[in-house]
Structure 1
Amino acid sequence: MTERLSAQIEFLKRADKLKSVDRANFLLDQSRPENAAEHSWQLALWALVLRPLADPEVNIDRVIRMLLLHDLVEIIVGDHPIHLETDLQTLEVAEQAAAAELFGLLPEDQATEYMALWQEFEADATLDAKFAKYLDRCQPMFQVLCAPAPKQDHVQIVRDNLNGGRAAYLKDEFPEAYLAARSLLNETRPAETAFTTRLPFLAETDQLKSVYRASRLLDVERFENSAEHSWHIMLYAWVLAEYAAPDVKIDRVLQMLLLHDIVEIDAGDNPIHGQVDHAAQEAEEQAAADRLFGLLPKDQNSALRVLWREFEDADTPDARFAKAIDRFQAPVGNLETGGGSWVDYNVSFAQIEQRVGTPIKRGAPELWTWLLPQLDAFFTTEATT
């Protein structure tokens, strides 16, 4: 178990580098370029929210998994914006090699599974892959069109993309999104459709990319934000699914982790090792859930709020595993970065056991067994220096 889990952790640590791959798109507030990890989280959210618009045969859980993986190769080959000329044949060869290198870090069975799913997305031939591609083609356009003051060169890229570019086919394949984009380009109010009634929520969630946590990226260049954190722990939950209880439904776990930090858009992040008024925090998060999920149609508002609440209460097998994964990721990062937030907050080993160990032991005890000797070694070394 130790060798297999260690290989899985090495893959997950390598995946952290996706948070440092900048894209051509900017955040809605135009403050900085978006990175590929938070983009992947946003696309997974689009898939969940736009499920009612998909063909009935589309498996949204598989679409979400595809979108978690789809840009990982950019860790090695970088992002290639649609408006720049690219040798597509050379890029395809490079991306295939990158996928083999990255997924090759995993145990063989997982490497085969993940490579096949990534290749399915790239081939764009199955119903699941086609819907994933629709989202990947249209979401960046709406990130431009929903911005209060978008860059005019970005608006032109969207216009060109619709007028014969890679998004032109959406006119026939995903008309709800295509017509909404056309209306926004023409500065007219889009017609009310199943797509446009969900767009305000999806646009609002862009703000999660500007909520920063106490944890740093593994290269220590900056603090992690809550959107890319959500993407990363979804990947953690999927890769480490075998350490969950037998009755845990991993796709429900992924959906919980996809949604779990959205309330931080209003309530902010409250570090686990910080001084927090828990009653005030809960009230702020409930109010945030009311406002944010309230932007969705009534039935979806109710369903997603229930899923978010289940994670918070951590009383079901699914939620306990989700909570364990949420607690597991930060210690892996802190061990890699010389202590990270433990040093910032002067955290003791006893506090780690209580605040981190308890939920991990409840939801994924084997992960705590793997982590404990490393924590013991770290804090013993700290005590003697």
Structure 2
Amino acid sequence: MTLTQSFEAGSTARLDAQFAFLMEADRLKTVERANQTMDRARFENSAEHSWHAALAAAVFAPLAQTGVDVDRAITMLLLHDIVEIDAGDHPIHIFHNPVEVAEAEARAATRIYGLLPEDLRARFLALWQEFEAMQTPTARYAKAVDFLTPVLQSVGAPEQSDEEREIVWRNLTAGRATKTAAIVPALYRFCIDRFEERPGEEDLAARFAFWCEADKLKSVLRATPIADGSRPENTGEHSWHVMLYALTLGDLAAPQVDLALALRMLLLHDIVEVDAGDTPIHGAVDPAAQAAQARAELKAAHRLFGLLPRATATEFRATWDAFEAAQSPTAIFAKSIDRAQPVLHNLASDGGSWRTYDVTLAQLDTRVGDKIARGAPALWPFIRARVFPWFAAMGRA
């Protein structure tokens, strides 16, 4: 029985479990870390950190040693901090009992990944355990990236306090960041160079410039709130969550979909909002406004991807262009997942942006449902059945 047939037969147990996990994962957006965003406006959360770390794994991929599967490393970094929903973040400059932390995180992994269907539970838990063990080349690369991203954020910021510089230097010379010297030696040396205010190797400086610009995505606010309704979602954490959606709902994709490529598309898809800003799907309905936004995004893509070394710039731009064109099965699936992610967040927050833009169910069907159904046919009936009661109660069905 296919997933579509299963839904039509009245069985939604698998999708219920997948969405239970995805909505629980939304809470990672409320877990505050000790690191600040690079504009120093606030402390970052663990969801946007996970996206930025995954981006670093892709940006610095040429430094990965033989045997590293970069796509697998990206997947590990999507999942690695989900345990912090229960266990919290543990800043490196504050002492924590490592045995107690490990036990708390293991309990969190059991509970949170246990929300999933059994096959996904086993797969995601195995990825997290591989990452934590740091024994395979891929896990070592992913861990090295995770260890160095806080350093890179600090040395890339316009200013650092004396206390922060002391923490970063201690990390680089005597802390966990020292482990990265044998895994990504060039990136480790680059961190030392930037800490000591030297420009560093030219190729890495270009990659770093792009990665620093991407940090601004954490300050781009979207119309959709996070699931608890407490604040608007930002585009950095949205990019993480929509990647997690694609990973979790990959069984809805057509056989010809390349899921690893879909994740890379979603990793990069909203980078242009650093310059062009977010355009709410229920807000930009005027063709002239949509055309103006498309031009702004093309200009942003040219500038931002142009910061990278030529080969990587070409690769990333081609991935972004393919997503925007939405012609390949992979891009169509990625687009459908991007449309799906905000819907249940609006529902969870009693309407969210539907209230702001006075959205009807018919408009949701046209603007969102048709796009989801194109790439994941079994998904829209499931989502529509969940949101229908809200629209009916509001007199908008």
TM-score tier, shorter chain, comes to over 0.9
Whether 1:295 and 2:307 are equivalent positions in the alignment is yes
SS in 1 for 2:266: helix
Percentage identity across aligned positions?
47
Partner of 1:182: 192
CA distance in 2, matches of 1:106, 1:266: 37
Partner of 1:348: 360
Partner of 1:381: 393
Whether 1:57 and 2:74 are equivalent positions in the alignment is no
> Which TM-score applies when normalising by structure 2?
0.95
One-letter code aligned to 2:258: K
Whether 1:262 and 2:274 are equivalent positions in the alignment is no
Do 2:359 and 2:396's aligned partners in 1 also have CA atoms closer than 8 Å? no
Match of 2:15 among 5, 9, 22: 5
> Which TM-score applies when normalising by structure 1?
0.97
Tell me: CA distance 1:146–1:106, structure 2 relative to 1, closer, same or farther (3 Å).
same
How does 1:365-376 map onto structure 2 within 5 Å? 365-376=377-388
**Cα deviation per residue 1:93-135 (whole Å; 9 max; x = unaligned)?**
1100000000000011110111111000000000000000110
Partner of 1:304: 316
CA distance in 2, matches of 1:52, 1:345: 44
CA distance in 2, matches of 1:251, 1:171: 28
Partner of 1:82: 92
Structure 2, unaligned runs of 5 or more: 1-5, 7-11
Match of 1:221 among 218, 226, 230: 230
Tell me: CA distance 1:39–1:384, structure 2 relative to 1, closer, same or farther (3 Å).
closer
How does 1:130-145 map onto structure 2 within 5 Å? 130-145=140-155
How does 1:198-347 map onto structure 2 within 5 Å? 198-275=207-284, 277-347=289-359
Do 2:228 and 2:348's aligned partners in 1 also have CA atoms closer than 8 Å? no
Whether 1:29 and 2:39 are equivalent positions in the alignment is yes
One-letter code aligned to 2:222: R
Do 1:19 and 1:35's aligned partners in 2 also have CA atoms closer than 8 Å? yes
Do 1:30 and 1:150's aligned partners in 2 also have CA atoms closer than 8 Å? no
How does 1:35-184 map onto structure 2 within 5 Å? 35-184=45-194
CA distance in 2, matches of 1:384, 1:210: 32
Do 1:53 and 1:195's aligned partners in 2 also have CA atoms closer than 8 Å? no
CA distance in 2, matches of 1:188, 1:368: 52
CA distance in 1, matches of 2:330, 2:395: 37
**Cα deviation per residue 1:259-307 (whole Å; 9 max; x = unaligned)?**
0000000000000000350111111000000000000011111111111
SS in 1 for 2:205: coil
Do 2:38 and 2:215's aligned partners in 1 also have CA atoms closer than 8 Å? yes
One-letter code aligned to 1:302: T
**Cα deviation per residue 1:217-246 (whole Å; 9 max; x = unaligned)?**
111111000010000000000100011111
Partner of 2:9: none
* Alpha-carbon offset, residue 150 of structure 1: 2.0
SS in 1 for 2:394: helix
